Chains A and B, each alone.
Chain A
Amino acid sequence: MKKLLGLTAVALAMVLVTGVPHAAEKMKVGFIYVGPIGDHGWSYQHDQGRLAIEKELGDQVETVFVEKVSEGPDAERVIERLARQGAGLIFTTSFGFMNPTLKVAKRFPKVKFEHATGFKRAPNVATYNARFYEGRYIIGQAAAKISKSGVAGYIASFPIPEVVMGINAFILGAQTVNPGFKLKVIWVNSWFDPGKEADAAKVLIGQGVDVITQHTDSTAPLQIASEKGVHAFGQATDMIKFAPKAQVTSIVNNWAPYYVARTKAVLDGIWKSEDTWGGLSAGTVQMAPYTNVAADIAKAAKETEAKIRSGALHPFTGPLQKQDGTEFLAAGKVIDDGTLAGMNFYVKGVDGKLPQ
């Protein structure tokens, strides 16, 4: 009680000194991350988005975050805490936060929620994701040009649609250069396990792979690629400083434009619940500078990038066959987002069985 009095006194004093408290007018924007912001991958990039909000709208909003929130029952409490602290907008940045987000959203109808990578929405819950597969198509093409062995190594996390569509986009890109291009996939069963990712990279290189890509978040595979003298592609952030001689490019998750736009929308009172899937054109997906390759490869990659951005090229354009040869997309057709979001099969050209 004494403590409370003390705090009140301090607050009063502050009001007296600074006049009207600005803090009261600012809208709070909350974030919860599944990993530590020091993961230099997924959560780190979301935090970069948060910092962009601070930079652009710092005079109107303040941001708070909680990191390393486990995707179980704890998530609901942390989200509710942010809502109770008076956050007007809350970003929940991992798939596993989907149901907790919806539960809290029901109790706080005035607060706006943004859930990354999920598929359930509500009047005050929007969802967003990025078209990372666009970047994977580009690196697939580049990999096929770089590789002498005609085989790439793919370090994958979990067989969910997001990852499966990435593998498919990669091989489709590679096939435009070398129709017989092959992939070796290792599932490390984790989004972030540097030791295991490094081991997987070594095993792949040992089996004759001369270019490596990953759908996991640590920089370890790039370090190994660098050590063994093969090329590799970064993930989530520009990882060039971990592999200055090995990284060709990196698919960068750039949430900043989306986060800033959505925060502005809340401030202006025009926020709506919707599903946003931004890609290269929206700036949500960015390619790190093309390095360590011949000029013609870099040039071709930039051209593909420009075509995707302008909409002239969609990585999933028919005719496309599933692994077993059955057609799932007729000639000239472009895949719809529903099929992509639930993609649970390999396209033709990927060897091996998709774990189910």
Chain B
Amino acid sequence: MGAFEAVILTIITASTPLLLAAIGELVTERAGVLNLGVEGMMIMGAVCGFAAAYTTGSPIFGVGAGLLGGVGMSLLFAFLTQTLMTSQVATGLALTLLGLGLSGLIGEAFTGLPGVKLGPIDIPFLIDLPFVGSILFGQDILVYFSFALVAIVTYMLFRTRTGLIINAVGGNHHSAHALGYDVVKVRYACIAFGGACSGLAGAYLSLVYTPQWIENMSSGRGWIALALVAFSSWLPRRVLVGAYLFGTVWIMGLYVQALGVAIPAQLLSSLPYLVTITALIMMSGDKTLTKVNTPACIGQPFAPER
């Protein structure tokens, strides 16, 4: 394997959990809901995924359990924000806090155990292609799925009736309601979708990235995913670009160190965050694009009586 392929493979691993979580949150936000609990859903996905895979010995079960863990947390959020109409910002923060604590408690029995790794699915013959073989055709199922998800979500949001409804609910919930759509139900569904994606991202961490359970192993990735959604101006293909941009900057910080370049490690570690902020500014600056795609109702509770 060449040095170039090795770097690309490392970047793919670093970017996939961000991409998965961000694309889910994008759908949630398109429906007008801001769920700041991505970190909490992700970490629950990680612990549930690990626990199930370890107990059953099957990483696929782990993926399923991770997904369900994320959905469970997201439904808690949905119940509070949609049914009880609590503040979305506060509830999202609470979800993160609860997720970090709860996952630690559940995971106590699983610390210090080697996990079951979700292995790559090598596509025969194609994987032997020079240069791109292992990059394009030697990945695990979640990597392939993350790319498929970008395509599916793009198609769904802009080409289908479902997408139309989601955008309508996020754009103006009163008109959507007047048109006869059940705003709350649509939002419940979109929140659950976001939870599922965050759960998958968490499962990716505990089954592929580092196949073991470690407290707080999401280490802030949920927040990065949230930033990526804003950075993307709510466009799925831009989430893809953003996730891979972040992953590249992250890995390059380590890469140049190994080459012997003397830059303080702290500066390299802070680069991804600085790049994210810069990207946020650049994207926010593009007024027309932002205006077209920003869900106008984001963060606002919907009460049909009003």
Residues of A participating in the B interface, judged by any CB pair closer than 8 Å = 36, 38-40, 44, 153, 184-189, 193-196, 198-200, 202-208, 218-220, 223, 227, 241-242, 351-353, 355
Contacts and interface: CB of A to CB of B under 8 A. Distances in A.
B112 interface: yes
A40 B215 CA distance: 11
A65 B3 CA distance: 46
Nearest to A227: B117
Interface of B: 1, 3, 6-7, 9-10, 13-14, 104, 107-108, 111-112, 114, 117, 205, 209-212, 214-215, 217, 219, 250-251, 254-255, 257-260, 262, 264-266, 269
Contact of B6 (A44, A153, A185, A202): A202
Contact of B254 (A200, A241, A353): A200
Contacts of B3: 206-208
A204 B217 contact: no
A204 B114 CA distance: 22
Contact of A204 (B112, B215, B258, B269): B258
Contacts of A204: 258
29 contacts: A36-B104, A36-B111, A36-B215, A39-B214, A184-B258, A185-B257, A187-B257, A189-B269, A194-B210, A194-B212, A195-B217, A195-B219, A196-B254, A198-B210, A199-B10, A199-B14, A202-B9, A203-B7, A206-B1, A206-B3, A207-B6, A207-B258, A218-B214, A223-B117, A227-B117, A351-B260, A353-B262, A355-B264, A355-B265
A38 B214 CA distance: 8
A218 B217 CA distance: 11
A206 B215 CA distance: 28
Nearest to A44: B112
Given A195-B219, A223-B212, A351-B260, A242 B265 contact: no
| Chain B interface SS verdict (over half) | helix
Contact of A206 (B10, B14, B104, B211): B10
A193 B262 contact: no
Contacts of A44: 112
Given A195-B219, A242-B212, A352 B260 contact: yes
A220 B210 contact: yes
Given A36-B215, A38-B112, A223-B210, 16 more contacts: A38-B107, A38-B214, A39-B214, A40-B111, A44-B112, A195-B205, A195-B209, A198-B209, A200-B254, A202-B9, A203-B7, A203-B10, A207-B255, A223-B211, A352-B260, A353-B262
B76 to A, nearest CB: 25
A335 B215 CA distance: 40
B257 A220 contact: no
A195 B255 contact: no
A199 B112 contact: no
Nearest to B205: A195
Contact of A189 (B1, B10, B205, B265): B265
Contact of A241 (B114, B209, B251, B258): B114
A153 B266 contact: no
Q: A38, A219, A220, A242: which has the most chain B beta carbons within 10 Å?
A: A38
Contacts of B259: 184, 207
B100 to A, nearest CB: 12
B59 to A, nearest CB: 14
Given A40-B112, A194-B214, A242-B212, A202 B13 contact: yes
Nearest to B260: A352
A355 B269 CA distance: 14
